[in-house]
Amino acid sequence: MFKYKKLHIPELGNDSYRGISARDGVVILGGEDGKVVMLQGDQVQVFKLDGGDGLEIRDIAAMDLENTVLMGSGYPAKIFRRKGTSFSEVYQNNNTGAFLNSIAFWNEQKGIGFGDAIQGKLLVIVTEDGGYSWREIGNQEDEAAPEVDESEHGFAASGTSLIVGEPGEAWIALGGGKEGGAARVLKTEDYGRSWTSYSTSLDADSPSKGIFSLALYKNQRLFAVGGDYEDPSLSNAGGVGFSIDGGKTWQSSTSPTLGYRSCVAVKEDLVLAAGPTGIDLSKDQGTTWLPLIKSMKNDSFNSLAVDTDGTVWIAGKNGLLAKMIIDM
């Protein structure tokens, strides 16, 4: 079964939405200039974050309806936390190089986030109180933020370039890099205190290339999608890959997605990848990809979120929000 429906919600306007969360029928979208839209059934709530001017809300971690953490990409880098009916700013970094890419939570208390490098090391932040306070890795003994090449960076295209697994496990995806280089994945097994680097099969030899999104399937199988956002229709094996050993080694898909993809998500045994030109489907754990939806005029897909009931929600440009039911 396959159903796709584009929704018309006036409150979304013509903004671009990259941050998206779906849980128990509640969909939260992060837009431009600190705009947040929450949908539950026929009810629509719009929030304008105090202190969110100039920030794009590119990642959302929702533990439940009232406990939500928002990541603001831009300057200065900020994180906001909801408790009850209001949002408050809980983290701010005034360094001009601090651009946040993604946040994720292991449980209701412990979470992690990362941003682009400052003085040769990625900005890695952690929380142990559900996102009310954050500290930067590297300020305590026996811990260090990962070092990167001056040309390497992360991507915040969908807020999914960082994912978590078992307690303490997390992976960061990178892009950029030297000419002819491969994208790297960094892994921690101790809540961000130390990191191991692995080279992947995806290309990352220019600022616009690399891994834009990661997804995890049954603890050890990882999926990575990306490509070149400056050439979104380019389809090649260097834009999508998978790992069967927790990110240590990587393989290219034998038939890639049809263009650059900014988000990958897992729905049961299916894998979905979305980008400006469309959405692709893999039914064999990332080995091959098939085109599922082609973008129509004025549509451009950014992000995916799989709800607890299996509904797939899609966010994009020009106020795009769609939902998809798929079972194959």
Identify which of 292, 298, 297, 300 has the alpha carbon closest to the alpha carbon of residue 316.
300
* Residue-wise DSSP of 213-234: EEEEETTTEEEEEEEETTSTT-
What pLDDT, on the 0 to 100 scale, is given for residue 85? 82
User: CB within 8 A of 209, min separation 6: which ones?
Assistant: 175, 176, 177, 183, 203, 226, 227, 228
Q: Global pTM? A: 0.96
What pLDDT, on the 0 to 100 scale, is given for residue 69? 97
pLDDT tens-digit map of 48-58:
999 999 999 99
What pLDDT, on the 0 to 100 scale, is given for residue 236? 81
Q: Which two tokens mark 179?
A: 């000419």
Sign of the CA dihedral running 257, 269, 71, 151: negative
Identify which of 105, 57, 108, 106 has the alpha carbon closest to the alpha carbon of residue 83.
108
Chunked into runs of 10 residues, the chain (328 residues) has average pLDDT values of 94 97 96 96 94 97 90 96 90 94 97 96 97 95 92 96 98 88 96 97 94 94 96 88 97 94 97 97 96 88 97 97 92
pLDDT tens-digit map of 120-161:
999 999 999 999 999 999 988 889 999 999 899 999 999 999
